[in-house]
Amino acid sequence: MLDFHAESSEKYYKLNETFVCLIGVRTIEVIEISDFIRTLQNLSLEGVVIQTINARAAYGISHLLGVLKITLECQKRNITVSTKPEMDLLLRLSLTNQISFALNYAGLNILHPAIIIIYSTDKKKVAGVRQRIIKTIPNIDSTILRTNIESRDHIFRLFGTNERNHILLQDDDYITQYLIERSTLIMK
């Protein structure tokens, strides 16, 4: 199990030396996703990574932080699946090594819930970027970060019938750990 109480309403999480902030967004209301991403990039600071994902690709906070922890560790060891840690995270959340599939599965979609992930080794910078985003982006909703049936159903489409039926009989902690462990198996 992970060494933090992830389903709490904490503003910041610490994964080794990296501080992480997660922001739920009820819907992305833009004409082009690239406009939304560009807005976020303009709100960032040097040394801070901002990444966005389809909220349905994460089975709650513990799942997302567990997979991010794997990506950060792989980045530190220079063994990421992709050249960019942002893509590595999408690939691991999608349980695939196919970039186009990962973008379709875990990438942003207009009018769908999203999660903004902010991380850096500098907590003050993470806090500053978080404040800028909250003041600028509409539809902030922390309930998006919770484990929910919509996310479970979206994620379970990745599995075959037998595997899906076995996992459905388990509790949320088991499912979360299973998904995190599966994400470690993604290779180039």
First to last CA, the chain: 26
More confident residue, 75 or 162: 75
Query: Residue 6's pLDDT is what?
Result: 46
Mean pLDDT of 3-17: 70
pLDDT digits (tens, 9 = 90+) for 115-139: 999 999 999 999 999 999 999 999 9
**Domain-embedded: residue 142:** yes
Does pLDDT of 49 surpass 90? yes
Is residue 11 scored above 70 in pLDDT?
yes
Is residue 103 situated within a structural domain? Answer: yes
User: Do residues 17 and 121 lie in contact, with contact meaning Cβ atoms separated by under 8 Å?
Assistant: yes
Give domain status of residue 170, yes or no: yes
How many domains, in total, are found in the chain? 1
8 assigned to some structural domain: no
Establish if 5 belongs to a structural domain. Answer: no
Q: Provide the 8-state DSSP code for 18.
A: E
What dihedral angle (degrees, nearest 10) is formed by the CA atoms of 97, 148, 176, 126? 80
pLDDT of residue 4: 43
Residues 6+ away with beta carbon under 8 Å from 166: none
**Mean pLDDT in residue range 29-51:** 95
pLDDT at 104 over 80: yes
Which of 5-19, 67-81, 168-182 is the least confident region? 5-19
Report the CATH number at residue 61.
Answer: 3.30.2380.10
Q: What is the pTM of this model?
A: 0.91
Question: Domain of 38?
Answer: 13-184
Identify whether 2 is part of a domain. no
Residue 118 located in a structural domain? yes
- CA torsion, ordered 109, 144, 27, 12, to nearest 10 deg: -90
How open is the CA angle 115-123-6, to the nearest 5 degrees?
50
Average pLDDT, the chain: 91
Q: Which residue has the higher pLDDT, 153 or 42?
A: 42
Does the pLDDT at position 165 exceed 90? Answer: no
Candidates 14, 31, 13, 35; CA nearest to 136 is 35
**pLDDT at residue 10 tops 90:** no
Which residue spans within 28-138 are E strands per DSSP? 49-54, 114-120
Domain assignment present for residue 179? The answer is yes
